[in-house]
Amino acid sequence: MFRTEMMDINMGPQHPSTHGVLRLKLLLDGETVTDTDVLIGYLHRGVEKLCESKNYHMIEPYTDRLDYVAAMYENLGYVETVEKLMGITVPERAEYIRVITAELQRIASHLVWLGTHALDIGAMTVFFYCFREREILLDLFEAFCGARLTYNAYRIGGLPWDVPPGWTDRVRHFVKIFPGRQQEYDTLLTKNRIWLGRTKGVGILKAGDAIDFGVSGPCLRAAGVSYDVRKAHPYSVYDRFLFDIPTGENCDTYDRYLVRMEEMRQSLRIVQQALDGLPAGEVMGKVPKRIKPPVGEVYHTVEGPRGELGFYIVSQGEDKPYRMRFRSPSFVNLQALPHMVKGSLVADVVAVIGTLDIVLGDVDR
Amino acid sequence: MSDEIKPPSSPPGGAAGPGQTPAPPDAAPPAATAPPKPAAPAKVNLTAEVDSPVLRALKEKFPQAIQAVSFYAGEVSVLLDKDSLLPVCRFLKEDPALRLDYLSNLCGVDYPDREKRFEVVYHLFSISLSHRINLKIQLADQEPAPSVVTIWRTANWHEREAFDLLGIPFEGHPDLRRILLADEWQGHPLRKEYPTRGYDRDHMKLR
Amino acid sequence: MKIQAFLQKVLLLELWQGMWVTLKNQFRPHITVEYPKETVEFPPRFRGVPRLRKDPQTGEELCVSCLLCEAICPTECISIVSEKRPDGKGKQLISFTINYERCCFCGLCVDPCPTKPITAIYMSHDYEFAGFDRDSYVTAREELVDGKPVKIYTS
DSSP B33: S
For residue C42, which residues of chain A lie inside 8 Å, CB to CB? 142
Residue A217 three-state SS: coil
Residue A67, in any domain of the structure = yes
Q: Does the N-terminal peptide bond of residue C117 adopt cis geometry, omega within 30 degrees of 0?
A: yes
Mutation choice for C interface testing from A58, A139, A163, A193 by most C CBs within 10 A: A58
pLDDT at C149: 59
pLDDT tier for residue C152 given thresholds of 50, 70 and 90: low
Residue A297, in any domain of the structure = yes
The answer to whether the Cβ–Cβ distance between B7 and A89 falls below 8 Å is yes
The answer to whether the Cβ–Cβ distance between A193 and C43 falls below 8 Å is no
For residue A22, which residues of chain B lie inside 8 Å, CB to CB? none
Give the chain C residue nearest A53 (alpha carbons): C74
| CA distance linking residue A348 with residue A33, whole number of Å | 9
- Cα torsion at A304, A44, A58, C118 (round to 10°)? -90
Average the pLDDT over each of A11-25, A68-82, B6-20, C23-37 and give the range with the smallest value: B6-20
| CA distance linking residue A262 with residue A226, whole number of Å | 13
**H/E run at residue A166:** none
DSSP A28: E
Q: What is the pLDDT of residues B46-90, one digit of tens each?
A: 777 777 888 888 888 888 888 888 888 888 888 888 888 888 888
Q: What is the ipTM of this complex?
A: 0.86
The answer to whether the Cβ–Cβ distance between A62 and C74 falls below 8 Å is yes
Name the residue among B46, B104, B157 with its Cβ closest to that of A335: B157
Residue A292, class by beta-carbon neighbours within 10 Å (0-12 exposed, 13-18 middle, 19+ buried)? middle
The answer to whether the Cβ–Cβ distance between B204 and C79 falls below 8 Å is yes
Selection from C129, C131, C110, C128 nearest residue C53 by Cα: C110
* Mean pLDDT, residues B33-46 taken together: 52
3-state secondary structure chain A: CCCCCCEEEEECCCEHHHCECCEEEEEEECCEEEEEEEECCCCCCCHHHHHCCCCHHHHHHHHHCCCCCCHHHHHHHHHHHHHHHHCCCCCHHHHHHHHHHHHHHHHHHHHHHHHHHHHHHCCCHHHHHHHHHHHHHHHHHHHHHCCCCCCCCCECCECCCCCCCCHHHHHHHHHHHHHHHHHHHHHHHCCCHHHHHHHCCCCCCCHHHHHHCCCCCHHHHCCCCCCCHHHHCCCCCHHHCCCCCCCCCCCCHHHHHHHHHHHHHHHHHHHHHHHHCCCCCCCECCCCCCCCCCEEEEEEEEEECCEEEEEEEEEECCCCCCEEEEECHHHHHHCCHHHHHCCCEHHHHHHHHHHHCCCHHHHHC
Judged by a CB distance cut-off of 8 A, whether residue B187 touches chain A is no
| CA distance linking residue A176 with residue A30, whole number of Å | 50
Residue A16, in any domain of the structure = no
Q: How large is the greatest C-alpha to C-alpha distance in chain C, in angstroms?
A: 96
Name the residue among A245, A301, A322 with its Cβ closest to that of B104: A301
For B7, how many CA atoms within 13 A lie in the half-sphere containing its CB?
15
Residue A21, in any domain of the structure = no
| CA distance linking residue A47 with residue A328, whole number of Å | 12
**H/E run at residue A34:** strand A32-39
Name the residue among B7, B30, B105 with its Cβ closest to that of A273: B30
Domain tally for chain A? Answer: 1
Mutation choice for B interface testing from A88, A238, A297, A363 by most B CBs within 10 A: A297
A234: left (phi over 0), alpha (psi -120 to 50) or beta: beta
DSSP B99: -
Residue A260, in any domain of the structure = yes
Judged by a CB distance cut-off of 8 A, whether residue B205 touches chain C is yes
Average the pLDDT over each of B124-128, C106-110, C147-151 and give the range with the smallest value: C147-151
Sketch out chain B's domains with CATH numbers.
Answer: 53-171 (3.30.460.80)
| CA distance linking residue A119 with residue B114, whole number of Å | 53
Selection from A330, A322, A246 nearest residue A70 by Cα: A330
Give the chain C residue nearest A196 (alpha carbons): C14
Residue A339, in any domain of the structure = no
**Domain CATH code at residue A259:** 1.10.645.10
Find which of A124-133, C109-118, C136-145 is predicted with most confidence, using mean pLDDT: A124-133
pLDDT at B202: 58
Contact predicate C14/C8, CB 8 Å: yes
Residue A49, in any domain of the structure = no
User: How many B×C Cβ pairs under 8 Å?
Assistant: 17
Contact predicate A99/A240, CB 8 Å: no
Give the chain C residue nearest A58 (alpha carbons): C74
Each of the 365 residues of chain A gets a pLDDT tens digit; together they read 788 888 888 887 887 777 778 888 888 888 888 888 888 888 888 888 888 888 888 888 898 888 888 888 889 999 989 888 888 888 888 989 999 999 999 999 999 999 998 888 888 888 888 898 898 899 999 999 888 888 888 888 888 888 888 888 999 999 999 998 888 888 888 888 888 888 888 888 888 888 888 898 898 888 888 888 888 888 888 888 888 888 888 888 898 999 999 999 999 999 999 999 888 888 888 888 788 888 888 899 998 898 888 999 998 888 889 988 998 898 999 988 898 888 888 888 888 888 888 888 888 88
The answer to whether the Cβ–Cβ distance between A146 and C25 falls below 8 Å is no
pLDDT at A107: 92
Name the residue among C99, C136, C140 with its Cβ closest to that of B203: C99
For residue A11, CA distances in Å to A107, A340, C13 come to 30, 16, 37
The answer to whether the Cβ–Cβ distance between B46 and A279 falls below 8 Å is no
Residue A22, in any domain of the structure = no
Is pTM beyond 0.90 here? no
Judged by a CB distance cut-off of 8 A, whether residue C26 touches chain A is no
| CA distance linking residue A322 with residue A295, whole number of Å | 10
| CA distance linking residue B46 with residue B188, whole number of Å | 33
Structural domain harbouring A142 = 56-321+345-352
| CA distance linking residue C3 with residue B77, whole number of Å | 63
Name the residue among C14, C20, C43 with its Cβ closest to that of A191: C14
